[in-house]
Amino acid sequence: MHKHFIEIDGARMSYVDQGHGFPLLLGHSYLWSAAMWQPQIEALSRHFRVIVPELWGHGSSDAPPACTTDMSALARQHLALLDKLHIKKCHLVGLSVGGMWGAQLAVEHPERVDRLVLMDTYLGAEPEATRLKYFALLDAASAAGTFPEPLLDIIVPIFFHAGGQTVPEIREQFRADLKASSAQTIRQSLDPLGRVIFGRPDLLARLGELPGERSIVICGDQDIPRPPEESNQMSRLIGCLAAQIPNAGHISSLENPKVVNDFLLAWLPRNH
């Protein structure tokens, strides 16, 4: 996977830019990288110019610039990427935090987003009990400067189908990647970004500003952190369709890539 680099707010953001056609921006999940979208990059880049930015401190991107203090900063930084690439309009598919900053970008700059796909994400505030649980995990990882085995036992299953049978090799690779995180990456990137994500404000009241006929909310039917009832709530507020990816948890793009690919290829118009 060839990566490019661009400077935003004084830091280097890495991104994949593959294929030709109408631009399609893919936003990945916290603790993952552009590789989370590998099956989609392969299938969709035959029809679109697929651009996959990597979150600060993830993949090959630098640690977050000091001004990255909230979700609107992330939305503004991804808008800056579009500006620097001279992309006036794109489709945006955001999974998890990719959907959080993606929806905010679409609300604040509707002229820049044609179709919006919100995957395995939630634009409400994090429920307090969950937020406190996640903050405690961040505290523990930062204090240790690593992800100890007991923390990995908690974190890794959150991202996958609860049955535990799907994509075992991807689960093991994800666990190994987390375990290999340096103390610097945990303390300078994953911890502060996690607090931005899990401490985000409630954006539900603004979802009605999104165009219902050009938006859709989808999630894995077995998503643990972002269950289908959250997707259904958002789809009602947007006035758009909701759909579920069968036999998939939070990282539905990797757990059931064929269904995700077929859906995106069918739903996203290719010619503008």
178-195 pLDDT, tens digit each: 999 999 999 999 999 999
* Predicted confidence band of residue 166 (pLDDT cuts 50, 70, 90): confident
Average pLDDT over residues 50-65: 98
Eight-class DSSP state of 200: P
Token pair belonging to 95: 């999974």
pLDDT exceeds cutoff 90 at 236? yes
User: What pLDDT is attached to residue 164?
Assistant: 75
**Start-to-end CA span in the chain (Å):** 27
- Residue 42: exposure state from Cβ atoms within 10 A (0-12, 13-18, ≥19): middle
Rounded to the nearest 5°, which phi and psi values hold at 224?
Answer: -80, -55
Contact by Cβ (8 Å): 38, 89: no
- Alpha carbons 49 and 69: distance in angstroms, whole number: 30
* Predicted confidence band of residue 52 (pLDDT cuts 50, 70, 90): very high
User: What pLDDT is attached to residue 238?
Assistant: 98
Strand order in the sheet with 4-8: 4-8, 11-18, 49-53, 23-27, 90-95, 113-119, 215-220, 241-245
For residue 243, list its beta bridge partners. Answer: 218
CA distances (Å), origin 200, targets 127, 144, 197, 231: 11, 25, 5, 17
Considering only CA atoms, which of 241, 203, 249 is closest in space to residue 116? 241
- pTM of the entire structure? 0.97
Eight-class DSSP state of 190: I
Give the Cβ contact number of residue 254 at 10 Å: 26
Domain 4-124+201-267 fold: Rossmann fold (3.40.50)
User: What pLDDT is attached to residue 16?
Assistant: 98
* Predicted confidence band of residue 153 (pLDDT cuts 50, 70, 90): very high
Average pLDDT over residues 203-230: 97
* Predicted confidence band of residue 272 (pLDDT cuts 50, 70, 90): low
How far is Cα of residue 14 from the mean position of the Cα atoms in its chain?
15
pLDDT exceeds cutoff 90 at 81? yes
Type of residue found at 42: E
